[in-house]
Each structure stands twice: as C-alpha cells, then as structure tokens.
Structure 1
Amino acid sequence: MKVLLAENAGYCFGVKRAVELAIKTAQDNDNKVYTLGPLIHNNSAVDMLKEKNVFSVDDINNVEGNNIIIRSHGVGKDIYDYCSEKKINLNDATCPFVKKIQKIAYEMYNKGYNIIIIGDKSHPEVQGINGWCDNKAIIGKNLEEFYLIDFNKIEKYAVVVQTTMPQDTFFAVKEYLISLGLTLEFYNTICFATKERQQAVLDLSKKVDAMLIVGGKHSSNTKKLAEIAKKNCDTFLIETAKDIDLEKIKTYDIIGVGAGASTPDFIINEVMDLINEL
C-alpha cells in the first residue's frame, strides 16, 4: 500500500496565529482564559488548549476575569462595543482574511450597499461578518438558495464570500447575480490557504484509489475538502486515526491524505503512521 499526503495540509496561517495567541495569553495571565466559542473547529485542538488553560464559552457573560479571546472566525461589532463599554480586555485572534471581509461589509454597508454573503448562515464566520452590517446581510450558501431570493434592481449590492467556500460556488453565484442586471460590487474573499488546500486535494484525489480527509466534522473547510475529493474517488472524513476503518482501507492500493486548515500536525502524523504500518 502507498500513502500520499496532499500539499498544504494542516494549520493555515490564521489558525496557527490564533492558537499561538491563545496559549501566550494564558501563559501571560497565569490563569484560565476564555475564547468566545471554540477557538477553531477541531476537537483534538480544543482539548489540547484546555490542557494549556484555554477554555471555550458560548456566552460572554460566562467569562471569568477580565480577558477574552476572539476566535479565528471573528465576531460581530456588538461584541467589541460591549467589551469596550465593560472594559474587558480583548485578545483578538480573528483571522486577518476574515477581518478584511468584516471591514468590507462595514464600509460598503455604510455607503448604502446591501451586503450579500456567499456562505453558510449557521457558520460563526458568516454570523460575525453579518454583525458588521447590522445583521441585515442577504446570505446563501449555494446557487439553489440564491434562486429563492428576491432582489431589487433599484438597490446596490456588495458581495463577499466566506473564506472557506469552494471557488466554483463563488463563480456560479456571481454569474447568476450578474444575469439579474443588478448593481453589484464583487469581492472574492476566499483565502489563499483555502484555495491551495482545495486544489491540492483535487489534484491528489485524481491519483489515488481513496482519500482520507482529516479534520473536525464541524469544520467548514474540512467538509468542503471531502466534497471535492468525493468527485474523484472514495472519500472518508475522519477526526483522528481512531476513526479509520482499517479493513476497508486495506482494500485500496493507493491512499491519499488531506487535512483541514484547523487540523494539528500531530493528528495528521498519527494518521500517516497508522496507514504506513498496514
């Protein structure tokens, strides 16, 4: 059996930065620190952070002490305003690429544009972006959802996209919106790390018999990698090496391994080691 690892697998710049900031904040305070929601969508990484005194809360009122970490997905403007009013110390681990989208949404909304977000309305990144335009964004995650939305040709629209969306989704929605004859400003805000990982998995999935995509099952970018790989070969989404169906995997000659942007290196290495031992 042969096993191949996709290029650019594992932590992206934004996730690596967020994890390092959270650990440093805990060390500097010599006490528990809290993130507003899981810092990243990976259970193994979250467990590792707990061991380093970094804990997740869903409600800002449950934060003990005077420090809070904004997770990599970002939050709405109201959280910043609340922390400023209550004099809570913000440690901002928002991914710089997400910050860019928030800035676009805020500025274009204040210029009179309606904000369109191509993304999953249940994802914290999208919810945070929406919070920079008074939670009035028009949101859809695929072409089918945009077909159901009524647009006003008198209005102006600024279009941004969740950092982890597939490129083909962005371009399909863009083509459809243009066909409606709307006044539009487009911003392709899919981050380069997402583009690189998706292309690497696409290329590798054409060369192997099966793909293992490693990452949190609630991770948007990980799930999209699995969707891409499935177009070309049998694909299995796993969180750790323990999730591998060894008897099934043994039936393949060449195995490809890809990993989401929030997957720690030690998890990827455990998967590679296990497959190499078969």
Structure 2
Amino acid sequence: MKVVLAKTAGFCFGVKRAVEQVYEQVRQGTLPIYTYGPIIHNEEVVADLESRGVQVIHDEEELAKITEGTIIIRSHGVGREVQEKMNAQGLTVVDATCPFVKKIHKAVDRASAAGDTVVIVGDRNHPEVIGICGWSRTKPYVVSTLEEIETIPPAEKMTVVSQTTFNYKKFQELVEKMEEKGYHSSVVNTICNATQERQIEARTIAKGVDAMIVIGGRHSSNTQKLYDICKAECNQTFYVQTLVDLKTQCFPNVRSVGITAGASTPNNIIEEVHTYVRSKL
C-alpha cells in the first residue's frame, strides 16, 4: 500500500520556538513557571510540561493571584493590557509569541493609532485573535463568514489582517466580498507561509489518495482547517490526536493513505502514526 507523509507536517517555526523556550526555563530550574494558556494546542505536550512543574494560567483572574515566578506568553500572543499586567506584577515575562503574530500586533497597533478601523479575519474565540484584538486602539471587527461582513460599519479607512492559520482560499473570498462592497481598505495578508504551504500540500495529497489522516490536538484551529481541506478532497478523511485514536478507525478498500499534521503536533506522534500505517494497513 502507498503511504504519503506530508513534508510540512508537524511543528511550525513559531510553535517549535515557544515549546523550546518553556523547556529551557524548566532546565534552568526557575520555578514557579507558568504559561498564559496552554503553550500550544496539544494535550500531550501540555501534560508533559505539567509533569515538570509548569502550571497553566487560563485567564486574567488567575494571573492576578500570581506574585512571583516566570510567566511565558504562548505562541498565540496576548493583548497589550494583559502583557502590561504581567509586567506590573513584577513577574519575569518570557515572550514566546510567534514572530509572525507579533508582526500582526504591530500592524494593528500602527493602523489603529492612525484611526483605521481594524478588521481581523479569523475565529473570534481563538486566543491568537483575542490577542490581536487587544492591540487595536479602535474597536476591532472579527469576521469569518461572508454574512459577518455585513456587520462592519462604513469607514473612511480600514485595515484588514488575518489570523495566521486561517484558510487562505477563504481569506481571499472574504477580501473580495469586502472589495465588492466598496470598502476603502488596506489588506495585509498575515497568513503565515508555513500555513499556506501546509494547506496546499494537504489538499494535493488528499486529491490523490483513498484515505487521509490528519493528526493534531482537538482544540487546534490550524489542524481543524487541514481536516476541512482534506475532507473536501477525500471522503475518507480521519482526524486523530494520537495513535490510539487511529486504531479505532477502519480503512476498507484502501490502497493509498496520506498523512499530514497540524503545527502543534510533535514529531514522535507523527512517526508513530506513520509507522503503524505502513506496518498494519
């Protein structure tokens, strides 16, 4: 049987950098160590860090109770106000925000300071988008569907950015809709190159196989988008977190299988799935 493993599967630059920074703090033994939210959307990685003494802070209420230690800003980033609170509390702040996300923060800060209405294309409940909103000095608008564009009021100047892991094709569709409505906007494509490459490769592989396996955490936005892309091309597409999930699946009449993984999926999990597929299916 033919097995195709995506070259772009696994940790992206930003996630790898963030995870390494947490493990470096653990090696230095600078307890207590906290992360503001799970460092990445992968339960196995988060559990391993917790076993090493890293505690997860989920919101500003929990943050307010911390008076000492090191707190790490995850790859998704946080808003200006949250970061200022960390500094004000005298904590050692390690900023592991993905550099690509940082660029969005700066673009939004600059545009809103100039009076632009900021539109963010993405999932309003995703931590990256929540953080981006926190850098806008004007009221930001978050859209992910064509219908939501109708909620944006007319504006003299508008700056449009995107969540780094948003579906590139869908982003283009939304931008085109805004242009049709005559919005005077400056569009900044902030979907990271790694995301675009991963989505393009996943779509290409899914078109040519009988079954597709997408590996990633259940709360991973970029993995969910990979699944949606692959499902549109290959009906037998399976979303798994680990090898345990895969073993419950059935692959009848399958001669070829494709494998990809989200940006928060460790290489050891990808390799376990790849080895299993090659030996068992």
User: What does residue 40 of structure 1 align with?
Assistant: 40
TM-score if structure 1 supplies the norm length?
Answer: 0.95
Q: Distance in 2 between matches of 1:178 and 1:205?
A: 32
**Worse-superposed segment, 2-11 or 222-231:** 2-11
Give the deviation of 1:276 after TM superposition: 1.5
User: What does residue 3 of structure 1 align with?
Assistant: 3
Identity across the alignment (%): 41
Count the aligned residue pairs: 276
Asked if structure 1 preserves the Cα contact closer than 8 Å seen for 2:117 and 2:159, the reply is yes
User: SS where residue 248 of structure 1 aligns?
Assistant: coil
Q: Distance in 2 between matches of 1:251 and 1:239?
A: 24
User: What does residue 218 of structure 1 align with?
Assistant: 219
**Worse-superposed segment, 29-38 or 19-28:** 29-38
Q: 1:250 to 1:63 in 2, by over 3 A?
A: farther
Q: 1:178 to 1:17 in 2, by over 3 A?
A: same
User: What does residue 205 of structure 1 align with?
Assistant: 206
* Aligned ranges 1:99-118 → 2 under 5 Å: 99-118=102-121
User: What does residue 74 of structure 1 align with?
Assistant: 77
Kindly provide the CA deviation profile for residues 216-250 of structure 1, in whole angstroms up to 9, marking residues without a partner as x: 11100000000000111121111001001556125
Q: Distance in 2 between matches of 1:193 and 1:64?
A: 37
Asked if structure 1 preserves the Cα contact closer than 8 Å seen for 2:141 and 2:152, the reply is no
* Aligned ranges 1:1-278 → 2 under 5 Å: 1-58=1-58, 59-63=62-66, 65-134=68-137, 136-146=139-149, 148-152=150-154, 154-233=155-234, 234-245=236-247, 248-278=250-280
Give the deviation of 1:145 after TM superposition: 2.3
Kindly provide the CA deviation profile for residues 69-100 of structure 1, in whole angstroms up to 9, marking residues without a partner as x: 00000000001211222222110000000000
TM-score if structure 2 supplies the norm length?
Answer: 0.94
Runs of 4+ in structure 1 off by over 4 angstroms are none
Give the deviation of 1:48 after TM superposition: 2.0
Q: 1:101 to 1:199 in 2, by over 3 A?
A: same
Q: Distance in 1 between matches of 2:111 and 2:81?
A: 18
Q: 1:63 to 1:10 in 2, by over 3 A?
A: farther
RMSD (Å) for aligned C-alpha atoms: 1.5
**5+ residue gaps, structure 2:** none
**5+ residue gaps, structure 1:** none
User: SS where residue 226 of structure 2 aligns?
Assistant: helix
